[in-house]
Amino acid sequence: MPELRVAVLGAAGYAGGELLRLLLQHPEVVELRAFSASHAGRGLAEAHPALAHLPAGAFEAPDPAAAASWAEVLFLALPHGRSQELMGTVLERDPALVIDLAADFRIRDDGLYRRHYGEHAAPGLRQQFVYALADVLGRRLEGRRRLAVPGCFATATLLGLWPFAAAGFLEAPPVVFAVTGSTGSGAVPRETTHHPARANNFFGYAAEGHRHEAEIAEQLATAGSGGSAAAVRLLVHSAPLVRGIHATTLFRPGQPLGDPVELLDGAWAGRPFVRVVRKPPRVEAVAGTNFAHVHAAVRGSEIVVYVAIDNLVKGTAGQAVQAMNLALGLDETLGLGFPGLYPV
């Protein structure tokens, strides 16, 4: 199919902006329309200044039905809850590929979804979606038409733990200490993302449990962790970073596993965007890129796993474009091979 017509809903947000940056430079995207309620009629660079250097047009007023009728690939970059309200209308128009960046369609199990998010407006549509963890699924995404892009904390956690779960080593619930940059909370400033509250600060939140625990638990069970991952604990923190997720996970393997780096090397061999590094990774090496850096070490009777990603690229828009490439049978690296900036 390539030579794609692509539309983005929620295009003025941070995830939407990152999608525009990647799609405007994607070799197979011939037409791109950006829909935004807050910026309709204004140039793309008014919301996303760095796009001033690309040949870009203006935002259009949101019309999900028209976008879904016109586009071959439709991305939804909306706050949680909005995609489930719109998805019936979107799917009636039957675009070839729909990619949702929110949490609305990530979880298959009804009870699990309800426990973490409450009632769903379109529960019957959830089973049409695949959890598009692109680096794990790879070519298994080919031909899939409805993709739910994993959350940023979940992506970082799963890229570190998946190889251990798949090899049967995750016999006790893992504990994840994860840190995010301020763009993880979107473009609208809040008390916890406002610059003075964030620039020289560090704090934990969601002490009672973070919603991404639901998708991590469900996916680790799929990977082969048995029931142990159901009790995964995700301890989240806000750091004085703009971009980036750093996740450190501790788990007890249940049986000796030898060198964990060797296990990671084997699991990620041939996958273009996951790099197994020889020491704990740093956010500065992946910021602005679609790469994940992963490392692990033995710590007494436990294993410690480190992962660093960019929340807006690997943690959302980059993974979404990689999943698009895979779903359409394209080279999965198309439009995504660029390095980051250093220093950040």
Ligand X SMILES: NC(=O)c1ccc[n+]([C@@H]2O[C@H](COP(=O)([O-])OP(=O)(O)OC[C@H]3O[C@@H](n4cnc5c(N)ncnc54)[C@H](OP(=O)(O)O)[C@@H]3O)[C@@H](O)[C@H]2O)c1
* Residues making contact with ligand X (CB under 6 A): 10-16, 36-39, 62, 77-80, 82, 101-102, 151-152, 183-184, 186-188, 311-312, 315-316
The number of residues making up the chain comes to 344
Nearer to ligand X by Cβ, of 30 and 188: the residue is 188
152 is catalytic: yes
Distance CA 228, CA 21 (A): 39
Residues 181 and 247: beta-carbon distance below 8 Å: no
Nearer to ligand X by Cβ, of 133 and 170: the residue is 133
Nearer to ligand X by Cβ, of 59 and 164: the residue is 59
User: 152, 161, 176, 283: which one is catalytic?
Assistant: 152
Q: Give backbone dihedrals phi and psi of 43, rounded to 5 degrees, phi first.
A: -70, 150
Dihedral sign for Cα atoms in the order 21, 24, 27, 33: positive
Residues 183 and 15: beta-carbon distance below 8 Å: no
- For the bound state, the minimum distance from the C-beta of residue 210 to ligand X, rounded and expressed in Å, comes to 12
Distance CA 294, CA 305 (A): 7
- For the bound state, the minimum distance from the C-beta of residue 92 to ligand X, rounded and expressed in Å, comes to 19
Distance CA 114, CA 292 (A): 31
Residue number with the shortest CB distance to ligand X?
13
- For the bound state, the minimum distance from the C-beta of residue 189 to ligand X, rounded and expressed in Å, comes to 10
Taking each helix axis from N to C end, the angle separating 318-327 and 14-24, rounded to the nearest 10 degrees, works out to 50
Nearer to ligand X by Cβ, of 79 and 143: the residue is 79
Nearer to ligand X by Cβ, of 283 and 312: the residue is 312
- For the bound state, the minimum distance from the C-beta of residue 285 to ligand X, rounded and expressed in Å, comes to 18
Using only the alpha carbons of the chain, give its radius of gyration: 19
**Beta-strand runs (E) in the chain:** 4-9, 29-35, 73-76, 97-100, 130-131, 146-148, 175-180, 203-205, 233-238, 245-251, 274-276, 292-299, 302-309
- For the bound state, the minimum distance from the C-beta of residue 311 to ligand X, rounded and expressed in Å, comes to 4
Burial 168-180 (b: 16+ CB within 10 A, else e): ebbbbbbebbbbb
Q: Give me the active site residues, please.
A: 152
